[in-house]
Copies of this chain bind each other. A is one copy, B any other.
């Protein structure tokens, strides 16, 4: 749940790809393996790392486990990044646009 775990979890390209796929909607471990050349235990281990880091959450239903993005993890990255707001002034306009869109 600390920042090292958070960034370590995201440092692996497979885990980032899994995370990105979950952004499209919750999914179980078997479906997540589609398109990855990875053993079942490897995927299970990656999911455990993402979960420990607070980036994803899981919900068991029967013998399946649904995984989904945990907003807390995203918020924590943003929180860390906000310390360095002074260093990305060029992004501010994009952000204003985004907030305007979210209001509508």
Contact = CB atoms under 8 A, between A and B. Distances in A.
* Majority-rule SS of A interface residues: helix
Interface string A1-20: 00110011011110010001
Given A75-B90, A99-B92, A7 B4 contact: no
Contacts of A4: 11-13, 16
Nearest to A68: B87
A66 interface: no
Interface residues of A, number: 36
B81 A77 contact: yes
A63 interface: no
Nearest to A98: B85
A36 interface: no
Interface of A: 3-4, 7-8, 10-13, 16, 20, 23, 69, 71, 74-75, 77-79, 81-92, 94-96, 98-99, 102
